[in-house]
Each structure stands twice: as structure tokens, then as C-alpha cells.
Chain A
Amino acid sequence: GIQVEQSPPDLILQEGANSTLRCNFSDSVNNLQWFHQNPWGQLINLFYIPSGTKQNGRLSATTVATERYSLLYISSSQTTDSGVYFCAVGVFGRAGTALIFGKGTTLSVSS
């Protein structure tokens, strides 16, 4: 099956710093999503980005499908950005189009 690798596994930042999270995947996909898991466990949708670039406030994401990787950029980080960031991929029609998750990047932002 498709393998999803995220790096780094852990990231510690001071408030105001910028960061880049990476997601590599082993096969062609047509669904790629980034999630933020908050301290209560809720998975919050950040981006649906199987290709191209999107921006939402301080967050942006880029997926280069031909090279099988995606990047999540967080600028001017805030303490509320802390949590686990997951990349998940899928192929429409395969396994009901379920998502395959990476192990996540745990981000800690201190003030």
C-alpha cells in the first residue's frame, strides 16, 4: 500500500518563528489533506491539496504531485498552533477512498 512519511516528527518553536513540515508519499494519489489535531483530539481540516499551492492566513501548503511530496508552511507561529499535524493521502475508488495517514509532526510553540 501507499506509504506516507512526515518530517520532522517533533518541532519546538518560539512564538513568531516560521516552520516547514514535509510529507512524502510513495505512489500517485488524487487526494491529499493536511489536518491539525487539537489537544482535545479533534481533527481540523487545514487543506485539501492534491496538487498546487493554497494559502489560508498564516498557513500555506504546496503539493508537487509529480515528485510525491507536500509541504505545510506555518508563518509567525502562535501558541495556539501547537498540536499534531497530519498529512493524509488517498486514491479515489480505492478502499472506499479512505485516507492513509502519516505518523504526524508534533509542534510545540512556546511564548
Chain B
Amino acid sequence: SQTIHQWPATLVQPVGSPLSLECTVEGTSNPNLYWYRQAAGRGLQLLFYSVGIGQISSEVPQNLSASRPQDRQFILSSKKLLLSDSGFYLCAWYGADHYEQYFGPGTRLTVT
């Protein structure tokens, strides 16, 4: 079966510290992968997407970066966190039919 994992589930980090969030998918190959962010009480905003290894597209200029070192691994990073980076980060992919997008359980990040 196809599943998507994210870790950590929750994270509290001080301003200026680095960040690494990981997303992995199982049961598929060469998936399109996505990072979205949801600020408190708001909708989801696309941050990055990747159509293959090493291929990253950014939708919103920001303090974050993404990498795809392996086919089924997508990483979201920051060198120095800002307060405004707080939020709920969700990784997503398309299912086997390539029509319906599915989301991981998310990482709740609080920058203090």
C-alpha cells in the first residue's frame, strides 16, 4: 500500500536555529511531492514542489529551502528560523491514479 510519513510530529525551535523536516513516501516510485504550510487559522499555501530527484520548484520566496536527495524523500530546511516560520507543515503526493492528492500527518512547528 502507499503511505506517507512525516517527522517530527511536533517541534519547538528558537529563533535563529536550523530546521530539517522530513517526508518519505512508500509504495510508489517517482512521485510528485509537495510541501505546504498552514499558518494558524488559515488555508494551506504551497511552498515547494518536486517532480523528480534534485528537481525543486519554489512558489513563494522565503526563509526556507527544499531538497529531494532520493526518489521518495523530500526535505524542508532552514538555516535560521524566523518567528514567521511557525505553522503546520504538510507533505503531499498524488496517489497511484495520479488524480487525487493525499497529505501526510504534518509537522507542527513553533518558533520561539
Binding site for B on A (CB under 8 A): 31, 33, 35, 40-43, 45, 48, 86, 88, 90, 95-104
Contacts and interface: CB of A to CB of B under 8 A. Distances in A.
B110 interface: no
Given A96-B51, A99-B101, A41 B32 contact: no
Given A33-B101, A45-B100, A48-B100, A95 B106 contact: no
A98 B100 contact: no
Contact of B90 (A31, A43, A90, A102): A43
A97 B94 contact: yes
A96 B43 contact: no
B49 A95 contact: yes
A40 B105 CA distance: 9
Interface of B: 32, 34, 36, 38, 42-46, 49-51, 57, 59, 88, 90, 92, 94, 99-103, 105-106, 108
Contacts of A45: 100, 102
Given A41-B106, A48-B100, A95-B57, A102 B43 contact: yes
B108 to A, nearest CB: 7
Interface majority SS (helix, strand, loop, mixed), chain B = strand
Contact of A101 (B43, B57, B88, B100): B43
Contacts of A95: 46, 49, 57, 59
A109 to B, nearest CB: 19
Contacts of A104: 43
